[in-house]
Amino acid sequence: MPETNDRTHVYLGVHVRGPVTVVHERAKTLLEPNDLVFCDPARQHLLQFGENCQMIFFRVPRCYLGVTQSELDQVLGVPVRGGEGIGALASDFLTALAAKAEFRRSTIGDRRARTAVHLLSVLVMELLEADTTAEADDASGAANEMLSRIHGYIEEHLMDPDLSPESIARAHHISVRYLQKLFQNDGSTVSQWVRQRRLEFCRLELGRSNRRITMAAVAHRWGFSSPSHFSRTFRGAYGMSPSEWQALATSAFATTTAGAQDE
């Protein structure tokens, strides 16, 4: 490995043969031939070398890569497969460049060096984009898990007339703003979701012909502020009043029962 006091360059290793392991964020990856990895001379623990191994190292000025130090730190120790995508292109080009000793001190060699730096800057950007995508996926998974818990909480508290965005957010130790964002990403709002779930349970209860229950009682049970508000909301969702739906459902059940008895 190069000198550890070199803070102006970063090193790119191209694996040639033998056992070489990259340690990154407690995960160990055994490199395959042609794989690449960016290294910092001050962090030699990133690479573990076995017997009879060989790697080619290229010293690249950090300032040529067009990224900040913090961004560069994100890609150090990240293995890049040399058999696909930009990794394959960079690996093949750099391996060929290392084999052409006559190009190292020539005009053609300078051009190829600039091409190599351009390839590596593209490689760094791809690694950063992949890292951002992974973080976004993790965040999305956490958000979906939180939303699922919130849905369950709402189902358990639908009969509570005080159920509100504020009470839901407080129960899950999040802000109302974040709560609204979770539902917005799901194409709804908190109030819409609560209202729709309450209406569904009201519709089911009113449709049970074996239980004579008043519209006012159903509305009160499922957290609606008044029978008139419930009636307007129900009609807006289903195109008929609660009493019309109850009569229709009862009539349909009675017809079905009569037909079964005639048989």
User: Could you tell me the pLDDT band of residue 256, with boundaries at 50, 70 and 90?
Assistant: very low
Residue 80 is given by DSSP the state: B
Residue 156: predicted pLDDT: 93
Residue 153: predicted pLDDT: 94
Model pTM score: 0.48
For the cut 60, the answer to whether the pLDDT of residue 149 exceeds it is yes
User: Could you tell me the pLDDT band of residue 208, with boundaries at 50, 70 and 90?
Assistant: confident
Joined together, the tokens standing for residue 75 give 């890609």
State the Rg of the chain over Cα: 33
pLDDT digits (tens, 9 = 90+) for 109-131: 567 778 888 888 888 888 888 76
% residues pLDDT > 70 (the chain): 82
Give Cβ neighbours of residue 18 (< 8 Å, ≥ 6 apart): 49, 50, 51, 52, 53, 54
In CATH, the number for domain 157-252 is 1.10.10.60
In CATH, the number for domain 9-135 is 2.60.120
**In the chain, where does the domain assigned CATH 1.10.10.60 lie?**
157-252
pLDDT digits (tens, 9 = 90+) for 230-253: 999 999 988 999 888 888 877 654
- What gap in Å lies between CA 143 and CA 114, rounded to an integer? 43
User: Could you tell me the pLDDT band of residue 104, with boundaries at 50, 70 and 90?
Assistant: low
Q: Give the angle subtended at the CA of 177 by the CAs of 174 and 183, to the nearest 5°.
A: 90
**In the chain, where does the domain assigned CATH 2.60.120 lie?**
9-135
For the cut 50, the answer to whether the pLDDT of residue 255 exceeds it is no
Residue 150: predicted pLDDT: 93
- Summarize the confidence of residues 70-81 as an average pLDDT: 86
